Amino acid sequence: MIPRIAILGLFPLALALLAPAAEPSLKVREPRMEKITAYFGTYTGGKGSKGIYKASFDPATGKLGEPSLAAEVVNPSFLAIHPTGKYLYAVGEIADFDKKTRSGAINAFAIQADGSLKFLNAESSGGGGPCHVTLDKAGKFVLAANYGGGSACVLPIETEGKVGKMAGFAQHKGSSVDKSRQEGPHAHSINLDAANNYAFVADLGLDKVLIYKFDRETGKITPNDPAAGELKPGSGPRHFAFHPSGKFAYANNEMTSSVTLFDYDATTGKLTPQQTLSTLPEPTKGNSTAEIVAHPNGKFLYVSNRGHNSIAQFVIDPTTGKLTANGHQGKGIKVPRNFALDPTGKWCLVCNQDGNSVIVFKVDAETGKLEPTESKIEVSRPVCVRFLVK
């Protein structure tokens, strides 16, 4: 006979087995953050920036340390850090790395113990003006978008972090309604889905987010069917962000100062537009959007406005992905380019390209609104910020 105490002890286990499975949580984890280094991509030239800069970041207080030069390189406007934390990759937003093809560069660096960067090598991006770079989830390939060339490229990561010769390439063709800005293709960003199956290239010149099948073994990209998510003519899609659930994606439209929600089918790669909202409280002459970021908790979305000089804030409906405008934060902001949430999700660092500074906002956990802080550092013409956790 089983003792009564033992039977009673089985009740909690039985109840747990009978209970319905809990929904996956999108709550931001609280990883141990012993040391965080922020890296800043910039535009170089003149007496200003010389390349990539770094600064310590304290996630407990939101304070940035004094910046210092991590590596000297020309126009490293966008950065990506390898999943191992050993390497950093930067575009060279130029058109004369290979003068015959008028292409830009993809630069590889090894991250040293003190956070400085050791140059490893550079290879052609296959097109002019590479302006955005990312890595595949396995850390085997570097992917970049060439704005001037209107193309996308994939380079393999070889021994000791070096980049190899081109593994995948796609040349865009066509134009759209604004002949002053959309006379031809202008690939502005490239992103992969969570499963590493599809690559998405927002092309300002075509009013499309082009969809490619991504071969995780070879790095080749081939047109998908369907081939693109379509935007309203004249929108000029620039950057692209997935909701952490993987069910939705968002594109910010540079030319119309708006953001578009897509439903995403992870099986087919299909993007279906569902909603478009303005990023402005009222029409603002000369405004254009730059960056779009979804909070890892799945509740909030942010877009930077250049001209209005603000970060537009939105609340996300977790069921439909639809957005509700949630005001703007503009204190201390001057021509904001890329911005990023730190690894804890508690702070937002904004790169002020024309303000020659990086400023820190605190994220209100309940409302998602950005609250000003006193943390600010001077960096000449900053464009991009990326974090390394050690």
DSSP string, 181-238: T-SS--EEEEEE-TTS-EEEEEETTTTEEEEEEE-TTT--EEEEEEEEEE--TT--EE
| Angstrom distances, CA of residue 35 to CA of 57, 64, 323 | 8, 12, 34
Q: Give the integer Cα–Cα distance in Å for 96 and 102.
A: 5
| Angstrom distances, CA of residue 115 to CA of 36, 45, 71, 88, 152 | 10, 23, 10, 11, 30
The residue among 2 and 258 whose pLDDT is bigger is: 258
Contact yes or no for 212/220 (Cβ under 8 A): no
- List the helix and strand counts (H, then E) for the chain: 1, 29
Q: Tell me the average pLDDT of the chain.
A: 93
Q: Give the integer Cα–Cα distance in Å for 96 and 221.
A: 25
25 pLDDT more than 90: no
Residues 164-196 have pLDDT tens digits of 999 999 999 999 999 999 999 999 999 999 999
Lowest mean pLDDT among 4-8, 180-184, 201-205, 250-254: 4-8
Residues 6-18 have pLDDT tens digits of 333 433 333 333 3
Residues 283-311 have pLDDT tens digits of 999 999 999 999 999 999 999 999 999 99
Q: Give the integer Cα–Cα distance in Å for 143 and 183.
A: 24
pLDDT at 101: 85
| Angstrom distances, CA of residue 181 to CA of 122, 236, 282, 381 | 30, 9, 23, 23
109 pLDDT more than 70: yes
Q: Give the integer Cα–Cα distance in Å for 154 and 300.
A: 31
Question: How big is the CA angle at 347 (ends 345 and 348), to the nearest 5 degrees?
Answer: 105
Contact yes or no for 200/210 (Cβ under 8 A): yes
What letter represents residue 266's amino acid?
A
30 pLDDT more than 60: no
> Would you call the peptide bond into 226 cis, given omega within 30 degrees of 0 as the criterion?
yes
DSSP string, 273-294: EEEEEESSSS--TT-EEEEEEE
Q: Give the integer Cα–Cα distance in Å for 379 and 390.
A: 23
Contact yes or no for 213/269 (Cβ under 8 A): yes
pTM above threshold 0.85: yes
Residue 223: Cβ within 10 Å count: 12
